[in-house]
């Protein structure tokens, strides 16, 4: 299958605290993407600084760190055709007020500072984020029994 890739999707503390883990995971499963890694964790500041390195100069960076350390995060890795781009479409725009109804952020969020999820924005960042959040042995290799019902 061409264009099979992996993406990193994190349910942020607000999504975990609001009990949105099941509905968010089901959006990816229902679309046909395969879950290959999952863990609930409270990431340390050093990991978050590396994850959000591109935002360190932004004035909101300290509050972003504080927010991301305020509770558990559900880190996941999904696999499938064009999953990075499609994962971003499932999440919706970063600003929930610009997210279409039917997207995760369009259905579950209002403020950009509480936008429920993070999703990799490119294959390169997905690979970097996956390696930052998961050890290689935590990524499970398997063929889904539904594979031939989803892909030609």
* Residue numbering of the annotated binding site for ATP: 12, 60, 88, 94, 105, 115
Would you say 113 and 126 are in contact if contact means Cβ atoms under 8 Å apart?
Answer: no
Indicate the pairing of strand 34-41 with strand 117-119.
unpaired
Residue 122 is classified by DSSP as S
Q: What are phi and psi of 91, to 5 degrees?
A: -70, -40
Indicate the pairing of strand 4-11 with strand 34-41.
unpaired
Contacts of 52 (CB under 8 A, 6+ apart): 61, 64, 65, 68
Active-site residues, by number, are 118
């Amino acid at each position: 299958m061409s264009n099979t890739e992996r993406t990193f999707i994190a349910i942020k503390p607000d999504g975990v605290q609001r009990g949105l883990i099941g509905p968010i995971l089901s959006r990816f499963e229902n679309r046909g993407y395969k879950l290959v890694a999952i863990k609930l964790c409270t990431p340390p500041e050093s990991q978050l600084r590396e994850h959000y390195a591109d935002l360190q100069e932004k004035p909101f960076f300290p509050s972003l760190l504080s927010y991301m350390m305020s509770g558990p995060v559900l880190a996941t890795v999904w696999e499938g055709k064009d999953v990075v781009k499609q994962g971003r479409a499932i999440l919706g725009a970063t600003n929930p007020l610009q997210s279409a109804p039917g997207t995760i952020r369009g259905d579950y969020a209002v403020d950009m500072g509480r936008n429920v999820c993070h999703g990799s924005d490119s294959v390169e960042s997905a690979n970097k984020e996956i390696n930052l959040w998961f050890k290689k042995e935590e990524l499970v290799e398997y063929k889904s029994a539904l594979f031939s019902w989803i892909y030609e």
